[in-house]
Amino acid sequence: MVSLSLTSSNTMPITRQALSIFAYPFRKYTIPTISFSHFPPKRHRSFCQYTHSLSAVSDPNPRNRSPEAIALEYSDLNLPHSTSEEVGPVRIRQHVNPLSAYFSTPVEVPNWNEVYEDTKLPLMVDIGSGSGRFLMWLAKRNLHSKNYLGLEIRKKLALRAEDWAKEQSLRNLHYMFANATISFKQLISAYPGPLMLVSILCPDPHFKKKHHKRRVLQKPLVDSIVNCLAPGGQVFIQSDVLEVALDMRNHFDAEPDILAHVSNIDASIACDDEGWLLRNPMGIRTEREIHAELEGAKIYRRMYQKRK
């Protein structure tokens, strides 16, 4: 069973309330108040320690406020680097074409025993891990109980994230440059422990119909995720683009004999009338999520659990 721990937003520190008012002037900011206690931790409290200039978060242009808001959310990672997608003097490309020949070769499966300190631990895989901050935040809170793997198709982002993990000697966190659509199955089938959580968070939308085939979640990847998940393992999807969220949802809703939505397992998990989760269950927002919420977007979320 999925168990919930409820926290009241009334307990939010004053500093954080003040910041959220400045950061979200036009919409009510709802603090995630639930967490799935057997996997992700409660939302962190670092806001109250963060000494931050309110002038930056009150800039009326969401684009300008985003880096500040991301730095604020991830302040306790103590990463020396800026939030821009830059590695040294080289700016990272916004998008790549995952269908090009360069990205069509499966990556080599590493020796997992050399990657992680304990390969029997449950694994969480974040597909399209971007800068890697989201996964690092989780990994630091579950140092000896879970392993984390970020798959990212933009090589420089993956390499920078792996450098950060090494600098911080995190032996439960690893990032790989990989096209998840191509490499997920081989990588995860070889992992010795159980796969307990897969996340696909704000994947690139590829809006044009002719480009939908570039989207990361295709039927073969869905099948691989469903097959590789251990009984009780979960899939968490979200997007700020309804069409993309629906596309991912349709894929996983199509497996009712194998997957159940968590709200059908535990009636206390709240969804809106359309079945989207009301709260982020991870305890931390991704960078894209922070940016989208600053722009006033709704985040569409679903979480599935593999039947036992």
Ligand X SMILES: C[S@@+](CC[C@H](N)C(=O)[O-])C[C@H]1O[C@@H](n2cnc3c(N)ncnc32)[C@H](O)[C@@H]1O
Active-site positions?
204
- Does position 283 interact with ligand X (CB under 6 A)? The reply is no
Where does this chain touch ligand X (CB under 6 A) — which range of 57-65, 173-181, 225-233, 295-303? Answer: 173-181
CA distance 291 to 293: 6
Measured from the CB atom, the residue of 99 and 143 that comes closer to ligand X is 99
Among 261, 288, 301, 302, binds ligand X (CB under 6 A): 288
Among 73, 152, 162, 240, binds ligand X (CB under 6 A): 152
Half-sphere exposure of 286 (CA within 13 A, CB side): 24
CB of 308 to ligand X, least distance (A): 28
Binding positions for ligand X, 215-274, rule CB under 6 A: 216
DSSP-derived secondary structure letter, 284:
S
The residues facing 259 across adjacent strands are 306
Instruction: Of 293, 218, 277, 296, give the one whose Cα is nearest residue 40.
Output: 277
Binding positions for ligand X, 110-139, rule CB under 6 A: 127-128, 130
Among 20, 33, 66, 179, binds ligand X (CB under 6 A): 179
CA-CA-CA-CA torsion sign (149, 151, 155, 156): negative
Where does this chain touch ligand X (CB under 6 A) — which range of 26-34, 198-206, 224-232, 267-275? Answer: 198-206
Q: Encode 244-258: b = buried (16+ Cβ within 10 Å), e = exposed.
A: bbebbbebbeebeee
Supply 192's token pair: 């010795």
- Does position 287 interact with ligand X (CB under 6 A)? The reply is yes
Measured from the CB atom, the residue of 33 and 238 that comes closer to ligand X is 238
Measured from the CB atom, the residue of 116 and 184 that comes closer to ligand X is 184
Q: Is 251 helix (H, G, I), strand (E, B) or coil?
A: helix
Q: Is 14 helix (H, G, I), strand (E, B) or coil?
A: helix
Where does this chain touch ligand X (CB under 6 A) — which range of 24-32, 117-125, 146-154, 168-176? Answer: 146-154
Please give the backbone phi and psi of residue 249, each rounded to the nearest 5 degrees, phi first.
Answer: -60, -45
CB of 248 to ligand X, least distance (A): 13
